[in-house]
């Protein structure tokens, strides 16, 4: 009779190599990026070996770069809040709907995800630019013409339109898991719609709000095509600035420092918001 191998050991042997490969593919690039960020820029060779915090000091002591970081954070947090405000009613309606048209509604939410962010940004350029729909409508009302391109509004609107489906789908799946009988019980006890929302639905939906909010925030912080096309040179965000330093200025060490700062900022803010929401969820 052969001895049976412990199930835990078998599982570890199966997932161990894959886990090691994934960890190496994540850790090694980050280690290389961190090392590059401590090197110094040279016009001839792009980079010379060093071990200096010069690139980080340059970033945090220059108001232009810190301003771009603050702008990126402002756009990300604004679009995340707007996605939550606009997405929650839609998600709730879809989650509670018993209509045969529900699947079509979900499909309409999913379809934009099949269109790349570059294509959608180009579409917004046609809407917001000179000779576009907004310009034509404003001219019909007697205006002299208007262009909303290369503004914070254009960038925010573009990022909002891209990230809203992610928020809606995340919230819908969580709300569908909330027993509708809880709301019926609150209604039978005399709670009106606002009270049912604040005391029943919202506390139970906090995990979905946290998940959707973190997802949308990360996507907004790292957006590239939308701010590049809709913001242009007049409206800077971190990802386009990183690309310019790497591909145009050929300053690889400074670009690596910008990438590391963007990553650490995003992860730190995400972790803090997750902890805050988790504590409130436990308290509720």
Measured CA to CA, the distance from residue 82 to residue 88 in angstroms comes to 10
- Residue 19: band (very low, low, confident or very high) from pLDDT cuts 50, 70, 90: confident
In three-state secondary structure terms, 160 is helix
Span 239-246, average pLDDT: 93
Both tokens assigned to 250: 């050929």
Q: What pLDDT, in 10s, does the model give residues 76-118?
A: 999 999 999 999 999 999 999 888 888 899 999 999 999 989 9
- According to DSSP, residue 244 is labeled I
Calpha distance 141→164 (Å, rounded) = 30
The terminus-to-terminus CA distance of the chain in angstroms comes to: 55
Angle between helix axes 7-37 and 252-283 (nearest 10 degrees) is 130
Could you say which architecture CATH assigns to the domain 50-283? Answer: Orthogonal Bundle (1.10)
8-state DSSP, 237: -
Task: Please report which confidence band the pLDDT of residue 152 belongs to, taking 50, 70 and 90 as the band edges.
Answer: very high
242 touches 256 (CB < 8 A): no
Whether the CB-CB separation of 259 and 33 falls below 8 Å is answered with yes
| pTM for the predicted model, two decimal places | 0.86
Which of 8-22, 150-164, 179-193 is predicted most confidently?
Answer: 150-164
Q: What is the pLDDT of residue 1?
A: 46
pLDDT digits (tens, 9 = 90+) for 256-284: 999 999 999 998 988 888 787 777 666 65
């Amino acid at each position: 009779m052969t001895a049976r191998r412990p199930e835990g050991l078998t599982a570890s042997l199966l997932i161990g190599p894959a886990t090691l490969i994934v960890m190496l593919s994540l850790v090694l690039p980050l280690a290389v990026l961190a090392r590059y960020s401590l090197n110094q820029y040279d016009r001839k060779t792009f980079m010379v070996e060093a071990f200096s915090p010069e690139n980080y000091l340059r970033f945090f002591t220059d108001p232009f770069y810190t301003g771009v970081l603050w702008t990126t954070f402002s756009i990300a947090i604004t679009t995340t809040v707007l996605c939550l405000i606009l997405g929650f009613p839609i998600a709730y309606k879809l989650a509670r709907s018993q209509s045969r048209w529900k699947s079509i509604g979900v499909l309409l939410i999913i379809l934009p995800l099949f269109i790349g962010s570059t294509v959608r940004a180009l579409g917004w350029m046609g809407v917001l630019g000179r000779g576009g729909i907004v310009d034509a409508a404003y001219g019909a009302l007697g205006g002299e013409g208007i262009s909303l391109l290369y503004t914070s509004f254009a960038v925010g609107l573009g990022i909002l339109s891209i990230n809203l489906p992610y928020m809606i789908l995340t919230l819908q799946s969580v709300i569908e898991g909330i027993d509708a009988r809880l709301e019926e019980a609150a209604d039978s006890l005399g709670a009106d719609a606002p009270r049912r929302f604040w005391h029943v639905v919202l506390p139970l939906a906090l995990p979905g709000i946290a998940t959707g909010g973190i997802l949308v925030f990360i996507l907004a912080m790292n957006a590239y095509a939308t701010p590049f096309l809709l913001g242009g040179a007049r409206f800077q965000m971190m990802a386009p600035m990183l690309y310019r330093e790497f591909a145009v200025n050929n300053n690889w060490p400074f670009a690596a420092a910008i990438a590391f700062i963007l990553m650490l900022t995003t992860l730190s803010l995400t972790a803090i918001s997750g902890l805050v929401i988790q504590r409130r969820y436990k308290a509720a």
